Amino acid sequence: MKILRTPREMQQHAQALRAGGRRIGLVPTMGYLHEGHLSLIRLARKASDVVVVSIFVNPTQFGPSEDLDKYPRDFARDERMCEQEGVDIIFYPEAGDMYAPDASVCVVEENLSKVLCGAARPGHFRGVCTVVAKLFNLVLPDIAVFGEKDGQQLRIIERMVRDLNFPVRIIRGPTIRESDGLAMSSRNAYLAHEERRQACLLKRSLDKAELMYRELDIRESARLKESIKKAILHGPDARIDYIEIVDDKTLASVEVVDRPCMIALAVFIGKTRLIDNAVIGGEA
Catalytic residues: 37
Straight-line distance from the first to the last Cα atom of the chain, in angstroms, rounded to the nearest whole number: 39
Cα distance between residue 151 and residue 145, in whole Å: 13
DSSP label at residue 186:
G
| ∠ CA 2-140-69, rounded to 5° | 65
Helix boundaries (H) for 164-276: 193-199, 201-215, 221-232
**Other CB atoms within 10 A of residue 218 CB:** 15
Q: What DSSP state is assigned to residue 237?
A: T
d(CA 62, CA 127): 8
Query: Across-strand partners of 147?
Result: 173
Chain center to CA of 14: 24
